[in-house]
Amino acid sequence: MKNMRQLVLSVFLTAVALLAGCKTLTTRQASANFRYRVFETTADAIDRAVRKELTETVPNSAYSVSKVDSEQLGVLLADIADRPGLLTQRSRKISYWPKIADTWAYSKAYSEQDAYLTGAGTGAGFLGVRKKGRTYEVRVEYNVFHSIGTRNPIRSRIFYEGEHPGDRAIVFFAALERVDGSKIFHVIAFEIGITM
């Protein structure tokens, strides 16, 4: 009888371990390349590239989020401010849910030509991808700081969790005002390709 209980317990624990392994395996089946670019662009580029009906405000954030196609993303990238230019870019392969840690940082030192364009920026957060049923879901979550040439630095959070956007990019954007009074947008664009 004691041996029978040990056998049943052993089978039960093995089954639990296998089921836990299957869940982990299912999560690992999803893999994606996350490419992000951080830059500033003009209000005109935002107006031309971002469709208002596809835009949502990120809760408790200075940022809005939208999904844009490659042509719309091209409009945003074409109008990158010459100075400071592309602030940072990175590509990462992610194969985990709900989150893998990631960071970025950039800075602009004082120069006589761009005296008002000094400052820095950081992003600290997480990326994730999973297969859920027949679709893929992605997760983007960062705490963002941006102070280059701004009257009021941005300290805010960006967040997206939902269905993979297909051939569209997930774009976060926030308005800011330069020390010289000009208006500009801080943009964080994520292109995400499922690699399985």
Determine if the peptide bond prior to 153 is cis (ω within 30°).
no
Q: What is the pLDDT of residue 28?
A: 42
Alpha-carbon distance of 16 to 24, in angstroms, equals: 12
Query: Are 192 and 128 a contacting pair, CB within 8 Å?
Result: no
DSSP letter (8 states) at residue 113: T
Q: What is the pTM of this model?
A: 0.82
pLDDT along the chain (196 residues), means of 10: 47 43 50 96 92 91 96 93 84 93 90 75 97 94 95 95 96 92 94 91
Q: What is the pLDDT of residue 92?
A: 96
Q: What is the pLDDT of residue 114?
A: 66
Q: What is the pLDDT of residue 185?
A: 94
Tell me how many degrees the CA angle 176-165-104 measures, rounded to the nearest 5.
Answer: 45
Q: What is the pLDDT of residue 58?
A: 96
User: Facing residues of 138 across strands?
Assistant: 129, 162
Q: How many CB atoms lie within 10 A of CB 103?
A: 11
What distances in angstroms separate CA 176 from CA 11, 41, 45, 60, 186, one per listed residue?
61, 11, 14, 17, 7
